[in-house]
């Protein structure tokens, strides 16, 4: 069984308590696809919810070793959606690249990939096309896929329909290759060459996994690489 590391996200409850969580859609999809989930927890003694990115202290050597210990246990890493990127996320992703660990980034996970080696920048969506659908059901728009990309190899399609749950989009100024563009010109997918599997997508295949063949192909292909 493939061991998939997933960094937990953080949230404040209405009563002020801070929690770490794994979205149910992610859990259920990875388990249905045959994966065994290993939660990866944040390692710094800070309030991840309240602290801004530039206010985080640098990771200590012990904290980095803690993160590396998680990576010793996994066959692949999935960076899920969320609302905030931290130095923990950046270091975890950089180590995945250095160790050539199969990696899938979804929504915020793709936006994290866009900032490797660069400052993190996102830009508000300004489009007549909806990128923030109200329901988990259905799709919001089309994306065009580069037919020379890993994503095309997985899907075998030059254009697909996707769901969408993001208010911001990114640009790419690092070594990632753009493999998918929305019909209004926003980056919807990126990948890193010379890795076993390193793919980021702006949409959520875990939400549409049971109903959509393309979502199934992405998740199943990722887990298939992790199994090798």
Task: Determine the angle formed by the axes of helices 24-32 and 213-227, rounding to 10 degrees.
Answer: 70
Number of domain units in the chain: 1
Distance between CA atoms of 79 and 58, rounded to whole angstroms?
Answer: 21
Q: Could you tell me the residue range of the domain that residue 58 belongs to?
A: 2-227
CATH of the domain at 80: 3.40.50.880
Looking at residue 133, its pLDDT comes to 67
| The pLDDT of residue 77 is above 70 | yes
Q: Give the pair of three-digit tokens for residue 118.
A: 């660069």
Whether the model clears a pTM of 0.85, i.e. scores above it, the answer is yes
pLDDT of residue 138: 76
Residue 168 has pLDDT above 90, yes or no: no
């Amino acid at each position: 069984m493939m061991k998939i590391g997933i960094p937990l996200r953080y949230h404040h409850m209405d009563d002020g308590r801070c929690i770490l969580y794994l979205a149910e859609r992610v859990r259920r999809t990875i388990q249905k696809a045959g994966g065994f989930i290993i939660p990866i927890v944040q390692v710094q003694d800070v309030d991840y919810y309240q602290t801004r990115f530039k206010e985080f202290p640098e990771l200590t050597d012990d904290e980095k070793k803690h993160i590396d210990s998680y990576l010793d246990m996994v066959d692949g890493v999935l960076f899920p959606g969320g609302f905030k990127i931290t130095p923990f996320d950046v270091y975890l992703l950089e180590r995945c690249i250095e160790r050539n660990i199969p990696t899938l980034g979804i929504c915020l996970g793709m936006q994290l990939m866009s900032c490797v080696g660069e400052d993190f920048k996102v830009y508000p969506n300004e489009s007549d096309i909806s990128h923030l659908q109200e329901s988990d059901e259905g799709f919001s728009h089309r994306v065009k896929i580069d037919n020379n990309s890993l994503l095309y190899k997985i899907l075998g399609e030059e254009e697909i329909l996707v769901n969408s749950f993001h208010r911001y989009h990114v640009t790419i100024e690092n070594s990632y290759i753009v493999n998918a563009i929305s019909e209004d010109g926003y980056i919807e997918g990126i990948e890193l060459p010379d890795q076993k599997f390193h793919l980021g997508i702006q949409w959520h295949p875990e939400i549409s996994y049971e109903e959509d063949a393309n979502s199934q192909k992405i998740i199943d292909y990722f887990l298939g690489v992790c199994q090798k």
